[in-house]
Structure 1
Amino acid sequence: MIKLPVLDYIQHMINNTLTPEMCTHMQYPTPISQMLGITITEIGPGTATLQIDTSKEKHSNQQGTIHGGLLSELADAAIGTAHSTFIGEGESFTSIDLKINFYRPVFDAVLTAKASPLQKGKTISHYMCEIFRSDGKRVAMSTSTVMTLTGDKARGR
């Protein structure tokens, strides 16, 4: 097996150049992203862009707009993917908080979430994620605090 850093693995995943012997210490694509149809479209050190093609039939709330929980999951997935590019073998991380503001409704649209660090620390990092509709309009913005875990705190995660 060829064990790659998360960033390199995801770059191969995006470029469709993964080979069967390539692996990383984290699980990509994640099961929740596979179930929801979220894909990673761009990756860089501490940054990630994810997309989902939403529809009222699959993702709406009682008013017929795309559910805010799905937007929250998309932001959380983008932030987690961005932060995972900094995580080495034997390390893990967890979200401390996630705050999201909704700006306009979404109906049927491809949503794009762009996450980047506001502040990268050794243990505590802060991220921002903006979510855009297909027409380029911002629909939501999220911030999150992420804690990197090492040693005993990372074991078994």
Structure 2
Amino acid sequence: MQKADDHRNRTFTWEDPAQSAQKASQMSGLEYLSAISREEIPMPPVMKLLGVEVLLVNENGVSLEFVPKEYHYNTIGGVHGGIYSTLLDSVISCAVHATLEKGIGYSTIDLKVNFIRPMTIETGLVSCLGNVVNSGRRLAFAEGKIIDQANKLLATATGTCMIHR
């Protein structure tokens, strides 16, 4: 039986994602993501849920910073693989988004993640980096990685995004 002091809770707030999506349709991907980086447009709700606060974007790719917390843990005391996957999908798909012109959308159709090292609270701040490897008219291929502050590789991923023209 659990004791009362074993219970924890967490709350978070987010803005209406429909308003941000409307703005996204009126800007290039790079303009939109740069506006998020400058905090002119709010982070997507999923990033708020995870606790991601920093998004950086340029022509070469996308990076975000993440600090693992206890609420990211799986049943054996490490950050859940779904968190790794969500972070990597985010930087990969945002790297693709940054290359797209106004009015062009995308969706992830494939994601392959390689889990290399465990992530825990003790890991501290990690950087998630994504860049486009090749982009065509219908498909874009990108890669991502998660590294700790000592530049140790925690995970890698490759992904494919369908481009919606």
Distance 1:148 1:46, change over 3 A: farther
Contact 1:40 1:50 in 2 (8 A): yes
User: Paired residue for 1:80?
Assistant: 93
**Does residue 5 in structure 1 map to residue 19 in structure 2?**
no
Aligned length: 139
Shift of 1:7: 1.6
What is the root-mean-square deviation in Å for CA atoms of aligned residues? 2.0
Q: Which residue of 1 aligns with 2:112?
A: 99
After superposition, the Cα gap between the structure-2 partners of 1:97 and 1:72, relative to the gap in structure 1 and judged at 3 Å, is same
Give how far 1:46 is off: 5.4
TM-score by length of 2: 0.75
Contact 1:52 1:112 in 2 (8 A): yes
Secondary structure of the corresponding residue to residue 81 of structure 1: helix
**Take 1:79 and 1:47, find their aligned partners in 2: how far apart are those partners?**
8
What amino acid does structure 2 have at the position aligned with 1:6? Answer: G
Higher strand proportion: 1
Shift of 1:128: 0.6
Paired residues for 1:36-75 under 5 Å: 36-45=50-59, 47-55=61-69, 57-75=70-88
Q: Say whether the 8 Å CA contact 1:46–1:83 is kept in structure 2.
A: no
**Distance in structure 1 (CA, Å) of the matches to 2:101 and 2:49:** 26
Separation of aligned partners in 2, 1:61 and 1:53: 16
| SS of alignment partner, residue 125 of structure 2 | strand
Query: Secondary structure of the equivalent of 1:65?
Result: coil
State the Cα distance separating 1:65 from its structure 2 match.
0.7
The alpha carbon displacement at 1:6 in A equals 3.1
- Please state how far the C-alpha of 1:112 moved relative to its aligned partner: 1.1
Confirm or deny that 1:125 pairs with 2:140: yes
Offset at 1:94? Answer: 1.1
Long gaps (5+) in structure 2: 1-22
The structure with the largest alpha-carbon Rg is 2
CA drift of 1:29 comes to: 1.9
With the length of structure 1 as denominator, give the TM-score of the two structures: 0.79
* Gaps in structure 1 of 5+ consecutive residues: 151-157
Match of 1:29 in 2: 43
Q: Give 1 or 2: higher helix fraction.
A: 2
Instruction: Confirm or deny: 8 A CA contact 1:46 1:86 kept in the other structure.
Output: no
Q: Residues 104 and 141 (structure 1 numbering): CA distance in 2 closer, same or farther, change over 3 Å?
A: same
Write the letter of the residue equivalent to 1:146: C
Give the superposition deviation at 1:4: 4.2
Residue 38 of structure 1 contacts residue 74 of structure 1 at CA under 8 Å; is this kept in 2?
A: no
CA distance in 1, matches of 2:163, 2:120: 36
